[in-house]
Amino acid sequence: MSVRGKLLDYKAIIKLAAKHSKGEFNENDEALILFAGLAYFSAHELTLLKVEDLITDRGLIVIDGVLPSSFSATGKERYFFIGDNTYLSDSIFKVIEWRLKNKYGCLDRSLFAGLDPKSPFFLKDNGTEYKLNYKRRFEGDTVTQPLQMQRKFKSYYFPEGVSITTLLNSFIENVWLARSRDGTFQAIRDLVGLTGLSKETLRTKCIREKTSIQDVLENLYQ
């Protein structure tokens, strides 16, 4: 595989995220990297993700959930998994503490861990929202792209060949390697639910053409 298509295993993703938790970066940056690499959150989804999508009114972290189709560039809803006592759930707690400490989008009561449930979960360093930009500048245009979030990821100190796209690709590879041992059909089915990509796309690339998973991942987002 070319350097440009370099992929990371779970441990490497966690280590890379941890390096962005301090100094000129903070807990928010660490969580963004983990959400992309460990849960397949795209820049578009990270921009639209709300507090209420991750935190209940009682202040509990959701274990899993479903993102609406409006969040996804594929136009399909998808399942996401956070888990209990995981790196992802820990990162959510850190972002909550970061927001409360800086008084970004807070409530005057304890519901939703003290955060405004309708506010974006991930905010810029100054507490403002990441915005979606319209792809074409004309009246009635509805196609948007997450340029601000993409620029945020480009500011990180990633190794050569690593970007938010390769973090997403790494998620697919790691799921495939872990679950295809129990059968490729179930692995494909799980990936459809977790990524929103079509069964046909994954089956064609992973099985019928009998290409390696590395080749699949290099071609998946072209």
* pLDDT, tens digit, 9 for 90 and up, residues 116-136: 999 999 999 999 999 998 766
- What average pLDDT score do residues 36-56 get? 97
For 188, the domain range is 164-220
- What average pLDDT score do residues 24-41 get? 97
Q: How confident is the model at residue 70 (pLDDT cuts 50, 70, 90)?
A: confident
Please check whether residues 18 and 47 belong to one and the same domain.
yes
CA 210 to chain centre: 28
Asked, for residue 86, whether it belongs to a domain, the answer is yes
Among candidate residues 125, 154, 183, the one where a domain is terminated: 154
Looking at residue 35, the DSSP 8-state letter turns out to be H
Residue 101's SS3 state is helix
Asked, for residue 16, whether it belongs to a domain, the answer is yes
Asked, for residue 51, whether it belongs to a domain, the answer is yes
Asked, for residue 170, whether it belongs to a domain, the answer is yes
Picking from 125, 144, 124, 126, the residue whose alpha carbon sits closest to that of residue 134 is 144
Please check whether residues 104 and 176 belong to one and the same domain.
no
Q: How confident is the model at residue 59 (pLDDT cuts 50, 70, 90)?
A: very high
Asked, for residue 64, whether it belongs to a domain, the answer is yes
Please check whether residues 148 and 177 belong to one and the same domain.
no
pTM of the predicted model as reported, rounded to 2 decimal places: 0.87
Please check whether residues 145 and 174 belong to one and the same domain.
no
Write the CB contacts of 68 (distance below 8 Å, at least 6 apart in sequence). 77
Asked, for residue 122, whether it belongs to a domain, the answer is yes
Please check whether residues 14 and 108 belong to one and the same domain.
yes
Asked, for residue 159, whether it belongs to a domain, the answer is no
With a cut of 90, say whether residue 145 has pLDDT above it. no
What percent of the chain stands above pLDDT 90?
Answer: 62
Cα pseudo-dihedral 159, 164, 170, 172, rounded to 10:
-170
Please check whether residues 150 and 172 belong to one and the same domain.
no
Task: Find out whether 95 and 113 touch, Cβ atoms under 8 Å.
Answer: no
Instruction: Write the DSSP string, 125-192.
Output: TTSPBP--EESS-STT---EE-HHHHHHHHTS-PPTT--HHHHHHHHHHHHHHHHGGG-HHHHHHHHH
| Residue 11 parent element (H or E) | helix 10-18
pLDDT at 13: 97
